Amino acid sequence: MASTKKSKTAKLTGNGGGPDKPNGRHWTQWIEPKGAALLSQVLGPAYFVVKNHGRNNVMLMAQHGDLMDLSPGAVRATYARGTITVENRGENPALIEFEFIPIFIKP
């Protein structure tokens, strides 16, 4: 007897897909159209990972790190220290998911 299993595609909630609440490991942030999110201001050396779940590009600006556009669905990991900002330059709200990974320096 042949098995006819149907594969299920997980649906993500939110604007253009993405989690609707923090999952304990990552944070999420909605950014209004033409708005910005200040994610850190006095951050020690860390790795920073961000994913754009929105429908339009967002601009990542990490002090001592990257300055780049993230297209919808794109993920970027970078070194950062100081201020991290993400700007939504589009006409739709954007949902980003992000995580800080500390760098442990041996004394």
Q: What is the pLDDT of residue 106?
A: 77
Q: In the CATH scheme, what architecture does the domain 27-102 have?
A: Sandwich (2.60)
Rounded to an integer, the average pLDDT of 78-87 is 91
| pLDDT tens column, 85-96 | 999 999 999 999
Model pLDDT, residue 14: 39
Name the residue ranges covered by the structural domains of the chain: 27-102
Q: How confident is the model at residue 20 (pLDDT cuts 50, 70, 90)?
A: low
| Cβ-defined contacts of 27-30 (< 8 Å, 24+) | 27/97, 27/98, 27/99, 28/53, 28/95, 28/96, 28/97, 28/98, 29/86, 29/95, 29/96, 29/98, 30/93, 30/94, 30/95
- What is the pTM (predicted TM-score) of this model? 0.72
pLDDT bracket for residue 18 (50, 70, 90): very low
